[in-house]
Amino acid sequence: MNTALILAGGLDLRFQMDIPKQFVNVNNRPIIVYTLESFQNHPDIDEIVVSCLSGWEELVRVYGKQFNITKLKDIIPGGKDAQESTYRGLEAMKDRMESGDIVVVHDAIRPMVSEEIITKSMRMCRKKGMGVAATYIMDTIMNSGDGTEGYESINRYKIMKVQTPQSFDFQLLWELHNRAIRENCLGAWDNSSMITNLGEKVCFSKGSDLNLKINTVEDVEMFRALYQMKHPEEVMEEKQGNE
């Protein structure tokens, strides 16, 4: 069993739009739907579980029916942070998952995730027990206390930019989450952070700079432009249908 756990529980008060990022419409589809479709269409994903912002669960259910997300199995309330949201998702699926089954954790606000990135994450998981999508950093990196001055240049070749998807042997991730609770190692912003906070290493799989994370209004427009470049005919059909 391979389950995609989509984290859609976040509410960023800095995001300058009236609704949460994952529900913003782009070309007549919410961002979360693009993400769900990526896993719906992946041949190795058997089911999808969404850990959702409280109060928005029914809307996700409606989207699942409207956009034919037939693999959508469960929609559960998310937690106060990504670690708790992940734990709740794992808890919801634990009775049907076994050692050797894979859970692919992915941010709802990364709608451009490709089949190749998902596949490589799962492939690495089968080899090493986990596969965390990551890319090299091409920009100069500096330490800064306040964002106005820099005081130390960091060797960019020793740093990786971590993304989702992050695939794990289910039993391994379940045990790590429960260990984190026992050791009061809480509040991590993703599974890779939780694992390194526990003193363990993370195994990387190949990510992509096109695997955009929607953090700002500008990112929404960038996603819109990139999607139109990759799917010009689809976007044109939608525009004509609205005229």
Question: What's the pLDDT score for residue 146?
Answer: 82
Q: pLDDT tens across 89-98, in order? A: 999 999 999 8
Find all residues with CB under 8 Å of 235, minimum gap 6, and list them: 27, 227, 228
pLDDT above 70 (res 16): no
- Superfamily holding 2-134+163-242: Spore Coat Polysaccharide Biosynthesis Protein SpsA; Chain A (3.90.550.10)
Q: pLDDT tens across 178-192, in order? A: 999 999 999 999 999
C-alpha to C-alpha distance for 70 and 177, rounded to whole angstroms: 29
Determine if residue 242 is left, alpha or beta; phi over 0 gives left, psi from -120 to 50 gives alpha, anything else beta. Answer: alpha
146 or 86: whose pLDDT is higher?
A: 86
Overall average pLDDT of the 37-43 stretch: 98
